[in-house]
Amino acid sequence: MRIASSGTPKKEGREFQSLLAASLISRFEKISDEEVYDKASRCFDFLLDVRESREAAKKLALLTDRAIPSLQQAAGSVIDRLLFNRNNDPYVSLGLPPYAGKSEAKDRWKRLIVLYHPDKYPNQREYEERAKKINEAYEEIRKEAKMCNSRDIVTHTSMANPLQSETALYRRHLKRVPTFTLALAIFIVVLSILLFINAY
């Protein structure tokens, strides 16, 4: 089940993302999952920056009264809440809005997998679980996009030339004609023999 987004696609500015992230982190424990998903998807890149670099965390520290390590941990908690969302929505898992395209999903997957790759954190099971979840979400989005593309191609082909699809239907039925004709001929021969035998 896809979580609804709050409307049209938005590309938020960096300043707005930092303010939204500050608001989200300060109220994180008190707001609903839907609100977390909506806000986090709009500032997810900034949350990743905070998680990855002290420079982004310093900028966020200016907007909040929290220490840098605490902010980095809080950004990680928001990312984890999306990654392991209750609805198991792959778009939410990758911090993407439901209208995100395949290329956006690929870019986000790359960034998340680099951040949480188990090789960077040997013998830490939680990073293996995160990497597995990131890969599963991305694979699901890829499969969905592939199905949509093939459905569009089939629909486009059949709508482009309806006569062509009717011809294919007739050809499929014409393949059965020789079998039917042979069966009918055998039936007529057997019936004729039986009628001939009964006549005598």
pLDDT in tens, 20-31: 999 999 998 899
What pLDDT does 180 receive? 75
To the nearest 10 degrees (0 to 180), the angle between helices 125-160 and 162-174 is 90
Task: Summarize pLDDT for 131-152 with one digit per residue, the tens.
Answer: 999 999 999 999 988 887 655 5
With a CB cutoff of 8 Å and minimum separation 6, the contacts of 21 are 43, 46, 47, 50, 60, 75
Kind and range of the H or E run holding 123: none
What pLDDT does 183 receive? 84
Alpha helices by DSSP H, listed for the chain, are 14-27, 33-52, 54-63, 68-83, 90-93, 102-116, 125-160, 162-174, 177-199
What pLDDT does 7 receive? 41
Please provide the average confidence, as pLDDT, over all residues in the chain: 83
Q: Does the pLDDT value for residue 200 go beyond 90? A: no
Task: Summarize pLDDT for 4-46 with one digit per residue, the tens.
Answer: 444 434 456 889 999 999 999 999 889 999 999 999 999 999 9
